[in-house]
Chain A
Amino acid sequence: MKALAARRRHPAAIAVLILLGLLVTGGAYSFLAPKQAQATTVTADSVAQGKKLFIGNCASCHGLNAQGTGEGPSLVGVGAASVDFQVGTGRMPLAGPAVQAPQNPGKVKFDEAQIAALSAYVASLAPGPAVPDGEYTTPIAPGDEVAAGQTLTNSQRIARGGEIFRVNCAMCHNFAGAGGALTRGKYAPALTGTTPTHVYEAMITGPQSMPVFNDTNITPAGKQEVISYLDAIDNQTNVGGMTLGNLGPVSEGLFAWVFLLGLMIASAVWLGKKAA
């Protein structure tokens, strides 16, 4: 140790230390980093078909090699999940320039096979998040059973999904997933009616204004819990009656002013007209 201590003021010491630090962090990162870039097995055929579809429908904005143009971003490395989300929800191909691509579930332009081919082509450009398989996109059924590898019961896992949702998602998407406003006309869309796969894909790809929630941030099991929570509140009976869109006190206040006060005044007028 004495030899080391003697050399600590050596001119090269700082450089060596920095190099060492970088090596350790970099090494640790490459070892611990989330392995999202799974290579999916795709046939050369579907890639070729996807490329054809891409050139016909997407290249005008995203470029012939998906390298991006002034009109649309590069798609190199966005992964199959991103394509599946954007095309599968009807956001892409974009109908027209707007602050944000609106979801358009009724007007998805491609069938499943075509979307898969497009995804395969974009995934073949560079590794990126893959389309999730069914393991984590199936909503958990409520109950007291404890699934393998879990410490909480299914119901408690759904409740934990609610907590994850409130901490990470509710500030934009609203407590009931009814959606909310963002700056300059952008918005967080309503989540009701969105398929579990698309919710999962949105979390791992971060479309438009949404941040990416990678597997270190929210584990796949955590994402499944969020999906299960959304599914649970989507399917629950509205015990209180009509929800008024789950938009909070604004819609309640409007209802009170229009309907409650309207009924009150109507009956006051009626009663005022009644002969004594």
Chain B
Amino acid sequence: MSTINETRPAEALRDGDPDVEQERADTKPLGGIAGWLDDRTGGAKPASHFLKKVFPDHWSFMLGEIAMYSMIICLLTGVFLTFWYVPSMTQVVYNGSYVPLQGVTVSDAYSSTLNISFDIRGGLLIRQIHHWGALIFVVSVFVHMTRVFFTGAFRKPREINWVLGTLLSMLACIEGFAGYSLPDDLLSGTGIRAMNGFVQSIPIVGSYVSYFIFGGAFPGEAIIPRLYSVHVLLLPAVLVGVFTAHILFVVIHKHTQFPGPGRTNNNVVGFPLMPVYMAKAGGFFFIVFGIIALVSAVVSINPIWGYGPYDPSPITAGSQPDWYMGFADGALRLLPGFLEFDTFGFTWSMNIFPGSILLLPIMWTVIGVYPFVESWVTGDKREHHLLDRPRNAPTRAGIGVAGITAYTVLLFASGNDLMAIKLHLSINDLTQLFRLLFFIGPPIAFWLTKRICLSLQRADRQKVLHGRETGTIWRYPDGRFEEIHAPLSPFERWALVQHESPEPLRISAEADENGVASPLARKERVRAKLSHFYFNDRVAPPTPSELEAAHHHGDEVDEGHLLTGEHEAIDPATTGDSSSTPRETIKADRKRST
């Protein structure tokens, strides 16, 4: 199998790289500005190394790029917005061009956001680009994350990068929440109000923390300036820092690739950054920017003039956070009220605390530790640079879909009121349904996904052994009908048979010959159980001997199947010269990995 078994330092990842030093010696020295710069910075070597970096081609590898570009777009538009936004809760009388608010006493923050929307040229467009960009930023972060998860791209040596990505996704959500709160309109004020409630629900210290954050009682005058500093200074700096590390790790580890002909754990098949990806990725930036700008130009987002200024007494129907915080809002909507109780003179708001304060760290911790859990359970400490096709890791796919199901139930619960009016349902029934789904949905999703993956694997197996169904039915002189199966090309077959199908771990001796239980036994038992959970249901890829057998048992009609057609179909592949290569590779690989 194409995995790397020996433990080796990350430095070894660059073993096969072309020697830039040597190449430079072979080429003539740099002249002109490049030479001048290189003499002073020594930048030519790393720049050349970077520009020759090879990246594999697949559309799903661009999901992270969408996130990167929308983050850059948010940074650019955000700078524009800071030119006019006033982070202050000082009360002023609004006298701008929006008639239905003239003469109303509002905060400086709200008034300046109205001015950006109505009185600054292009301000509203930039605001909408910033907001739509933020939404798609978090969307693409999450979708990128699912791609990495289902393809197993988080495995060694990329666990740290997975943790960094997890951190980035959490920071993105918090950054979004801070930005959502800045305009000081009715909706964002309600969000801050809710946050105040969440903080107060922390047992014992809640009210102190709330006073600390708000600089006194809610709403005070401090929260907007504080959130502003967090939104434009602290979090962007941390985001960009962690993001840089994230990208740096991609360069260090090299990009993973899907299995295919010629792709191994030791190479990257693709194109170099310069000029191919410079053009592709550069072009994609403008595509992303263009799409966001187009949507921002025609679709309204967060019409703060409609919400009106924040005032603690009113509230609007349909008050929700932006989607990425919706899951926490949904958890709150689902938590029953009877969970609150009093003891020792303290109120324990267990109707609020788990859904608001606890949920976030729990969710992101579970996501962050997954690679370590999986590698412990599977005992797989090898490097993986070839991605799994999701179906070839059925249990992992099932766990992922179960997690996504739980998340989606919470997210949808956050919109229960709108679902009630738009679908003419009762909000109470919907809430009960979501409560039920939160518990039974993930197991069902796990089971379904795992079964689908196993079925797909079986289908792959059939395809390898018997060829592809063509839909062409032949009638023979003796009257029987047969469907013609077309043989797979060796390249197609390779993609279907190259993966591993590990067997569950077995417990090594639980007790020694004297009957003394091994101190490791319990841990090993747990591990064996989990390994059983992961790998007990498995569909192994066809072995070369099975493939061989499939070609010959066409003559035996005893199975009740009419296999002669398949036999004929497979024939050219087995006799052809090209077919021997992948099969031998399988054999060779098997030997290496065992």
Contacts and interface: CB of A to CB of B under 8 A. Distances in A.
Q: Do they bind each other?
A: yes
B418 A250 contact: yes
A247 B418 contact: yes
B323 to A, nearest CB: 3
Interface string A226-268: 0001001100101111111011111111111101110111011
A272 B270 CA distance: 12
Given A174-B316, A179-B421, A267 B300 contact: no
A263 B62 CA distance: 13
Interface stretch (A28-36, A72-80, A151-159): A151-159
A244 B299 CA distance: 7
Contact of A185 (B287, B306, B426): B426
B163 to A, nearest CB: 25
A273 B62 CA distance: 12
B318 A264 contact: no
A268 B319 contact: no
B271 A276 contact: yes
B455 to A, nearest CB: 25
Nearest to A99: B426
Contacts of B299: 240-242, 244, 255
B318 A178 contact: yes
A166 B310 CA distance: 10
A176 interface: yes
A170 B317 contact: yes
Interface in B43-92: 57-60, 62-63, 65-66
Interface in B109-155: 117-118, 124, 128, 132, 135-136, 139-140, 143
Nearest to B292: A260
A274 interface: yes
A187 B63 CA distance: 40
B239 interface: no
Contacts of A110: none
Given A244-B299, A250-B414, A261-B139, A180 B308 contact: no
B284 A267 contact: yes
Contacts of B100: 155, 158-159, 162, 229, 232-233, 236
Contacts of A238: 300
Contacts of B300: 238-244
A104 B310 CA distance: 34
A222 B103 CA distance: 16
A20 interface: no
Nearest to A238: B300
- Determine the main DSSP class of B at the interface with A: helix
A236 B99 CA distance: 10
Nearest to A190: B421
Contacts of A156: 102-103
Interface in A174-214: 174-176, 178-185, 187-188
Tell me the interface secondary structure of chain A in the complex.
helix
B303 interface: yes
Contacts of B136: 256, 260-261, 264
A215 interface: no
Contacts of B59: 265, 268-269, 271-273
Nearest to B58: A272
B318 A180 contact: yes
B417 interface: yes
A239 B429 CA distance: 37
Given A242-B300, A272-B59, A248 B104 contact: no
Contacts of A176: 303, 306
A246 B303 contact: yes
A173 interface: yes
B224 to A, nearest CB: 19
Interface string B283-301: 1100110011001111111
B297 A183 contact: no
B314 interface: yes
A260 B104 contact: no
A82 B306 CA distance: 30
B102 A155 contact: yes
Contacts of B140: 261, 264
Nearest to B424: A185
Contact of B323 (A162, A167, A173, A256): A256
Contacts of A232: 99-100
The 6 closest A-B pairs by CB, nearest first: A180-B317, A253-B323, A240-B300, A272-B59, A156-B103, A185-B426
Given A180-B421, A247-B318, A253-B323, 10 more contacts: A159-B100, A159-B101, A166-B316, A175-B316, A180-B317, A229-B100, A236-B100, A248-B316, A249-B322, A268-B62
13 contacts: A155-B102, A159-B101, A166-B316, A180-B318, A181-B317, A184-B428, A185-B425, A185-B427, A248-B316, A253-B324, A255-B299, A256-B139, A260-B291
